[in-house]
Structure 1
Amino acid sequence: MAAFLRRFFIVSRFEYILLIQTFVTVLYYAFLVALFSRRFILKQVGKAGVEAPYEISANDTVLAKQVAQAIRRSERVIPWRVTCFAKAIAAKKILKQRGLASTLYLGVAKVGSDTITAHAWLRCGNVVVTGKEEMARFTPVAFFS
């Protein structure tokens, strides 16, 4: 715990504000995903079938990586498991507030002979902000910009 507190206080002011904003946003969307249907939430995510550009500036790439790191940090502090869908939506909203376009992907994969599992990930430029570890196993079926 002491190591966590030491690292918490040596981050820059921007990273501190981003971490607090990310924590609150992830909590908000975790509750929203738990309470409402996915169809209702997807209507508010963005335009279906449209992808954001792959080319972004170097400064925007750095910002996207900082948001990805803030999502991972806030996930470690939240006492329950946050779904990939909630993390992707939270990251999308944070990037949108900072003027960056991103694309949220929804994918499915077959597990075993009769089970299908789903996954969500977010891409901003060439940076996969959330869901990078699992995305290779899934086939994209929808995307939202």
Structure 2
Amino acid sequence: MAVVAAWLLLGVTRLLTLALPFRVVRHLLGEQRSPAGPGASPVPPQLRPRDLIRARKIGWAVRTAATRTPWRSECFPQALTARLLLRRARVPHVVTFGLRRDGAGALRAHVWVTADEVTVTGGSRESWTGVGSFAWAPRP
């Protein structure tokens, strides 16, 4: 069921990223934070074991669904989808945007989602320099 929800949300978030300017979509991301340095994300709160399990399951569902869409489900729609599912599950997380230069010197962008030590989406991020982050945590 989680893969189906992720698949549907990937379609919605893909449409949002195509149809709306970033300044509108950014309101879905949470509270803006500054990254802690090159390749880093702000440190999300330490999670309880059950939240770590939820974050891993959501990451798996989003990555699995993304390989099965007839449209392009790149890092940004995946990050938005993971962020919405994590929020629904009340799991604190951080969405981070990063940049790097490729072999030809062109600037490339990437986005990833972390929940404590779990990389929910975005894969390896060591070669990326974090330039902006958005955090979300449930209010007590």
Give 1 or 2 for the bigger CA radius of gyration: 1
Q: TM-score range by the shorter chain?
A: 0.7 to 0.9
- What aligned pairs does 1:68-83 form with structure 2 within 5 A after superposition? 68-83=59-74
* CA shift for structure 1 position 112: 4.0
* CA shift for structure 1 position 121: 0.2
Unaligned runs of 5+ in 1: 1-16
The one-letter code of the counterpart of 1:18 is: A
Higher RCO (Cα < 8 Å, 6 or more apart): 2
Aligned to 1:33: 17
Unaligned runs of 5+ in 2: 35-41, 136-140
- Provide the rounded CA distance (Å) in 1 between the counterparts of 2:43 and 2:7: 25
Pairing partner for 2:91 from 72, 84, 100:
100
Contact kept? 2:47, 2:92, Cα under 8 Å:
no
Query: If the length of structure 2 is used for normalisation, what is the TM-score?
Result: 0.84
**Alignment identity in percent?**
22
SS in 1 for 2:44: coil
Aligned residues: 128
Query: If the length of structure 1 is used for normalisation, what is the TM-score?
Result: 0.81
C-alpha RMSD of matched pairs (Å): 1.6
- Provide the rounded CA distance (Å) in 2 between the counterparts of 1:101 and 1:54: 7
